[in-house]
């Protein structure tokens, strides 16, 4: 019946001989028409060449597909990242940090502030559970100007201290960390991965950069600059940084 | 069968469907399952199913399938084609559901969020689309099974596919229907992604695209599928096999890489493996749904094959299930925090 089955012509002949007298002419005509249509379409399908083989032969497509497969596997093996990887990394880090923060033993924060006369003053606050936080004030060359504990009289003499202390308590840092995070960059240092994220510093456009050691999931540094408090008396160029120890 | 009896059977079938629809609407309105409501997922599944049905069947075949499901009598071949349409619709709903979950999951991971709790809730919400897909698949299987049983109940051998029948060969209207199906599917996918991402700062369809396009996953899925389909030389069945097997191998590959990442405490390995699992399952499901399955449907509808191969049928059920299981594993891997090394 088709070009592929020449032996079928014998069967056709046999059927024609056996049935020719019994079939009414209109039925025979209908059958002939159907057979012709079927033969035409089948032949057309048999002769059809796939479009993709017109560009390259099948073997070239096979080689290309293997090449694509292997390159994909190699890229994945090398740890190629994309925005999705970065976002997953961010979520995993946030989970880990929130757990680690609860277990933090102590925390130190430092703030560098330019005074009205242009000199830089460093404030270092050491937070320890169960005892008042210790404050160290250093001059431009790192010389220790004074030291005291939070809540003691010298604090009231320097309005900057209470503002810096209020934004750098462990609970304030924890609150900042619970806000929305945005991925800033990812860097690899030696065998460990260091990730840097940005978190909102407040209602304004300022952000704090939050650097974490991805091997241990420990925060390495939290740093921010700009106006961190809403008070207009605050100087505009504060550099604020917190380092957590566990 | 007299005309009165035929009309009575059709009326009873329509009444049954109306009753079932009223029950579903009443359940939704009662608010009992308000926690399971995902409007974007419902829109995607309903219109996505229509689009994918158009890719594999002509409008005439779809109309006939609905008429036979409503109890209309007909020839065995026509009823068999109608049964295949409903089986294909069930398959499409199931694959669409799991694909919807995967895409929704990717969007949740890829966009800004208020907090970790919000992200977790949205990730769980993503699984609801699979539930919708499964429910719709069960609904579509009812007419398929009824028609199959009806064919089996007629007794005697089932005639071979009517290859010479002009009605089953492709015509221009079927080709136009397929083009409309692909355009509609792209529109449904685009509008669903837009609905899920609108109003989010620093997000949107373009950034979602960047998140979804994980290069290695695309290369492995495309390369593996083409290679397998070429070596098999089995047409559409080869493509189904290729997408399913490449997808499964990718899932396992990603999972093993993630396990190594957990062992070596390397976040980079874990996150790239998770991204690979999610992207590879998305692309293999998408390929299976919009490339392989419609081609197999055309083979059956045009009478070139009596029915889809058993292997393809198995892949249509098992592979989305595996993809769903791996998605759940991925969710667990995302929310499992890494522990600090002892002494590290």
Helix (H) or strand (E) holding B331: helix B310-335
Rounded to the nearest 10°, the torsion over CA B76, B78, B84, B89 is -140
Model confidence band, residue B256 (pLDDT cutoffs 50, 70, 90): very high
Residues A54 and A126 in one domain: no
Cβ atoms of residues B113 and B338 within 8 Å: no
pLDDT at A41: 65
What mean pLDDT do residues A87-98 have? 76
**Rounded Cα gap, residues B245 and B229, in angstroms:** 11
Pair A70, A134 in one domain: no
pLDDT of residue A230: 46
Distance CA B60, CA B47 (A): 19
A229 and A196 together in one domain: yes
Helical pair B215-232 and A58-77, crossing angle rounded to 10 deg: 150
- Among B106, B112, B267, select the one facing A89 at the smallest CB separation: B267
SS3 content of chain A, % helix, strand, coil (to 5): 40, 30, 30
User: Does any domain span residue A3?
Assistant: no
User: Which residue is closest to A95 within chain B, CA to CA?
Assistant: B337
At residue B242, the pLDDT reads 93
Q: CB neighbours of B89 closer than 8 A, spacing ≥ 6?
A: B49, B53, B140, B144
| C-alpha dihedral (B296, B301, B302, B308), degrees to nearest 10 | 40
CB contact under 8 A, A68 and B219: yes
Cβ contact (<8 Å) for A62 and B215?
Answer: no
What confidence tier does B15 reach under pLDDT thresholds 50, 70, 90? Answer: confident
Residue A180, pLDDT score: 66
d(CA B286, CA B291): 8
Q: How far apart are CA B330 and CA B336, in angstroms?
A: 10
A8-22, A104-118, B1-15, B122-136: range with highest mean pLDDT: B122-136
Q: Are residues A132 and A73 in the same domain?
A: no
Residue A89 falls inside a structural domain: no
Cα(B232)–Cα(B234) distance, integer angstroms: 5
Per CB-CB distance under 8 Å, the chain A contacts of B211 are 82-84, 87
User: Residue A219: closest CA among chain B residues belongs to which residue?
Assistant: B340
Residue A108 shares a structural domain with residue A223: yes
**Both A122 and A232 in a single domain?**
yes
- Write down the pLDDT at residue A153: 65
CA of B256 to nearest chain A CA: how many angstroms apart?
11
pLDDT average, residue stretch A213-238: 60
pLDDT digits (tens, 9 = 90+) for B50-89: 999 998 888 888 888 888 887 777 777 788 888 889 999 9
Pairing of strands A207-213, A120-128: unpaired
Residue A167 — very low, low, confident or very high, per pLDDT cuts 50/70/90? Answer: low
Whose CA is closest to B271, among A94, A176, A189? A94
- Element (H or E) spanning A224, and its range? strand A218-226
Instruction: Determine whether B112 is exposed, middle or buried from the number of CB atoms within 10 Å of its CB (0-12, 13-18, 19+).
Output: middle
Q: Which chain A residues are within 8 Å of B335, Cβ to Cβ?
A: 91, 95
Q: Using a CB-CB distance cutoff of 8 angstroms, which residues of chain B are in contact with residue A51?
A: none
Beta-sheet strand order (sheet of A120-128): A144-149, A131-138, A120-128, A106-114, A238-245, A218-226, A207-213, A192-200, A182-189
Say how far apart CA B195 and CA B192 lie, in whole Å: 5
Half-sphere exposure of B248 (CA within 13 A, CB side): 12
Q: Do B341 and A216 touch (CB under 8 A)?
A: yes
- pLDDT grade, residue B201 (50/70/90)? low
Give the position of tokens 């304030």.
Answer: A172
Instruction: Judge: A82–B215 Cβ closer than 8 Å, yes or no.
Output: yes
**Is residue A1 assigned to a domain?**
no
Top pLDDT among A112 and B106 is at: B106
Residue A46 within a domain: yes
For residue B156, CA distances in Å to A221, B71, B152, B163 come to: 79, 21, 8, 20
More confidently predicted of B122 and A48 = B122
In a domain, A166, yes or no: yes
Neighboring chain B residues of A65 at a CB cutoff of 8 Å: 222-224, 226-227, 230
Q: Report the distance separating Cα B177 and Cα B58, nearest Å.
A: 6
How many helices and strands, by DSSP H and E, does chain B display?
13, 0
What's residue B343's pLDDT? Answer: 41
CA distance B265 to B250: 22
Same domain, A107 and A228: yes
CB A90 within 8 A of CB A72: no
Give the CATH number of the domain where residue A203 resides: 2.50.20
A160 is written with which tokens? 């900057």
Residue A39 is assigned to a structural domain of this protein: yes
Q: What is the pLDDT of residue A137?
A: 80
Percent of chain A residues topping a pLDDT of 90: 2
Q: Which residues pair with A121 in a beta bridge?
A: A113
Res A234: pLDDT: 53
For residue B113, what are its two tokens?
A: 């969020």
pLDDT at B232: 86
Extended beta strands in B128-262, E state: none
The verdict on a CB contact (< 8 Å) between A72 and B217 is yes
DSSP 8-state symbol, B305? S
Q: Is the sign of the CA dihedral B208, A66, A45, B86 positive or negative?
A: negative
Q: Please indicate, yes or no, if residue A90 is contained in any of the structural domains.
A: no
Q: A21 is in which domain, residue-wise?
A: 9-80
pTM: 0.73
For residue A222, list its beta bridge partners. Answer: A210, A242
pLDDT for A78-92, tens place per residue? 877 777 777 787 777
Residues near A193 by Cβ (< 8 Å), separated by ≥ 6? A186, A187, A213, A214, A215, B266, B267, B268
Do A220 and A119 sit in the same domain of this protein?
yes
* Nearest-angstrom CA–CA distance, B65 and B80: 9
Cβ atoms of B103 and B188 closer than 8 Å? no
What the block records as the tokens of A52 is: 């993709």
CB B188 within 8 A of CB B47: yes
Q: Give CA–CA dist B303/B4, Å, rounded.
A: 33
Q: How many domains does chain A have?
A: 2
- Provide mean pLDDT across the span A21-30: 74
Instruction: Note whether A130 and A161 are same-domain residues.
Output: yes
pLDDT at A157: 58
Question: E strands within B248-302?
Answer: none
Please say if the pLDDT value at position B162 is more than 50. Answer: no
How much is the pLDDT for B165? 46
Range from A151-160, A227-236, B173-182, B272-281 that averages highest in pLDDT: B272-281
A14 and A134 in a single domain? The answer is: no
Per-residue pLDDT reduced to its tens digit, A178-212: 666 666 666 666 566 677 777 666 555 566 677 77
Quick one: average pLDDT of B247-253? 93
Q: Which two tokens stand for residue B329?
A: 């594993």
Rounded to whole angstroms, the Cα distance separating B267 from B262 reads 8
Residues A118 and A214 in one domain: yes
Phi and psi of A48, rounded to 5°? Answer: -70, 130
**CB–CB contact B271 A72 (8 Å):** no
Mean per-residue pLDDT for B28-49?
A: 79
Q: What is the reported pLDDT for A150?
A: 73
Spatial distance between the Cα atoms of A94 and A87, rounded to a whole number of angstroms: 11
Selection from A94, A197, A181, A191 nearest residue B269 by Cα: A191
Token code pair at residue A80: 């190629």
The chain-wide mean pLDDT, for chain B, equals 81
Question: Which of B180-189, B224-233, B266-275, B319-328 is least confident?
Answer: B266-275
Average pLDDT over residues B39-59: 88
Are A96 and A236 in contact, with CB atoms under 8 Å apart? no
Give the model's pLDDT for residue B115: 65
Residues A223, A140: one domain? yes
pLDDT given at position B244: 94
Q: How far is B331 from chain A, CA to nearest CA, in Å?
A: 10
- What's the CA gap between B66 and B55, in Å, rounded? 17
What is this model's ipTM? 0.74
Residue finishing a domain among A23, A47, A80: A80
Give the containing element (helix H, strand E) for B121.
Answer: helix B116-126
Could you give the dihedral angle defined by the CA atoms of residues B178, B182, B185 and B189, in that order, rounded to the nearest 10 degrees? Answer: 170
């Amino acid at each position: 019946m088709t070009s592929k089955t020449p032996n079928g012509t014998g069967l056709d002949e046999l059927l024609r001989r056996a049935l020719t007298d019994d079939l009414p002419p209109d039925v025979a005509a209908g059958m002939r028409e159907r057979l012709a249509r079927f033969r035409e379409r089948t032949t057309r399908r048999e002769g059809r060449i796939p479009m993709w083989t017109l560009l390259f032969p099948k073997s070239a497509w096979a080689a290309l597909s293997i090449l694509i497969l292997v390159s994909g596997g190699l890229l994945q093996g090398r740890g190629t990242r994309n925005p999705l990887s970065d976002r997953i990394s961010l979520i995993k880090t946030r989970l880990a940090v929130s757990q680690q923060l609860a277990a933090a033993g102590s925390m130190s924060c430092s703030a560098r502030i330019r005074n009205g006369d242009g000199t830089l003053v460093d404030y270092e606050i050491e937070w320890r559970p169960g005892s008042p936080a210790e404050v160290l004030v250093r001059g431009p060359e790192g010389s220790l100007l004074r030291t005291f504990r939070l809540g003691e009289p010298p604090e009231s003499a320097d309005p900057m201290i209470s503002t810096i202390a209020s934004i750098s308590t462990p609970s304030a840092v924890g609150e900042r960390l619970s806000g929305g995070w945005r991925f800033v960059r990812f860097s690899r240092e030696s065998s460990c991965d260091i990730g840097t994220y940005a978190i909102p510093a407040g209602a304004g456009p300022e952000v704090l950069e939050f650097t974490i050691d991805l091997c241990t999931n420990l925060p390495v540094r939290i740093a921010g600059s700009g106006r961190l408090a809403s008070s207009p008396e605050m100087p505009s160029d504060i550099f604020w940084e917190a380092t957590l120890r566990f | 069968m007299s005309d009165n009896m035929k009309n009575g059977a059709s009326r009873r079938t329509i009444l049954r469907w109306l009753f079932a629809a009223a029950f579903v609407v009443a359940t939704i309105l009662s608010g009992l399952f308000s926690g399971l409501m995902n409007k974007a997922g419902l829109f995607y599944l309903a219109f996505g199913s229509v689009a994918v049905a158009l890719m594999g069947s002509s409008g005439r075949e779809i109309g006939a399938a609905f008429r036979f499901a409503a109890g209309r009598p007909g020839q065995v071949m026509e009823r068999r084609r109608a049964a295949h349409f409903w089986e294909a619709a069930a398959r499409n709903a199931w694959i669409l559901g799991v694909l919807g979950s995967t895409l929704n999951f990717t969007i949740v991971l890829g966009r800004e969020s208020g907090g970790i709790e919000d992200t977790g809730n949205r990730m769980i919400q993503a699984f609801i689309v699979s539930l919708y897909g499964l429910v719709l698949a069960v609904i579509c299987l009812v007419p398929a099974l009824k028609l199959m049983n009806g064919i089996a109940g007629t007794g005697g051998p089932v005639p071979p596919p009517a290859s010479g029948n002009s009605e089953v060969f492709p015509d221009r209207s079927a080709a136009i229907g397929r083009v409309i199906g692909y355009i509609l599917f792209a529109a449904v996918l685009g509008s669903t992604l837009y609905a899920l991402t609108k109003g989010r700062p620093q997000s949107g369809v373009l950034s979602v695209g960047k998140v979804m396009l994980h290069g290695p996953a695309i290369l492995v899925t495309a390369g593996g599928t083409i290679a397998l389909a070429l070596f098999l030389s089995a047409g559409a069945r080869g493509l189904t096999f290729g997408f399913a097997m490449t997808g499964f191998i990718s899932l396992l590959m990603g999972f093993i890489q993630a396990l190594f990442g957990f062992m070596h405490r390397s976040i980079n390995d874990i996150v790239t493996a998770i991204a690979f699992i999610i992207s590879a399952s998305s692309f293999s499901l998408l390929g299976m749904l919009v490339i392989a399955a419609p081609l197999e449907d055309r083979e059956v509808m045009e009478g070139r094959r009596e029915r889809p191969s058993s292997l393809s049928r198995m892949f249509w059920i098992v592979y989305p299930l595996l993809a769903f299981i791996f998605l759940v594993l991925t969710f667990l891997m995302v929310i499992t925090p890494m522990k600090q090394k002892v002494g590290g």
